[in-house]
Amino acid sequence: MSKITIIESQDVQKKLDVYPQHVRKRMIEVRNLILKTAEKTPGVTIIEESLKWGEPSYAVKGGSPVRFDWKPKLPDHYMIYFNCKTDLVASFRLAYGDLFSYEKNRAIVLNLEGELPKKEIQNCLQRAFLYQKVKSNPFSV
């Protein structure tokens, strides 16, 4: 694992602080998984954290941004969002089928209860971080 530069955002920290306690724990787990995955992704040297559309967002050079959020209207679920103009979610459907639920071509929908499928989510995140290199091969990474 290589050392990367993480450009952190106080706005994201504030957002994490306002989630209900049971949600905050999972949101911090997702954030940590994103940062850990970036460290393991070849060629990623900087990851920038920001708030986009009120959601924690993570961007790397040559990649496609990743966001996540929980919303009160779906209290038992949270989502990891990917750029809807990419084939990322379609490739996740091919690779993982019904392991995940999906929101159209923009998000993986996960249940707050139970374990976070870390290995599979890391693969999805890594594909997003390497998007410019892997976009022509739906089965790479």
pLDDT tens figures, 76-133:
999 999 999 999 999 999 999 999 999 999 999 999 998 999 999 999 999 999 998 7
Report if residue 38 sits inside a domain. Answer: yes
Report if residue 114 sits inside a domain. Answer: yes
Task: Give the domain CATH number at 85.
Answer: 3.90.1150.200
pLDDT tens figures, 120-140:
999 999 999 999 877 666 555
**Confidence tier at 61 by pLDDT (50, 70, 90):** very high
Domain span at residue 24 reads 5-134
Mean pLDDT taken over the chain: 92
Across 47-69, average pLDDT: 97
Number of domains present in the structure of the chain:
1
- Residue 41: phi and psi, rounded to 5, are -90, 120
Report if residue 139 sits inside a domain. Answer: no
Report if residue 126 sits inside a domain. Answer: yes
Report if residue 141 sits inside a domain. Answer: no
Report if residue 68 sits inside a domain. Answer: yes
According to the model, what pLDDT value does residue 141 have? 46
Report if residue 96 sits inside a domain. Answer: yes
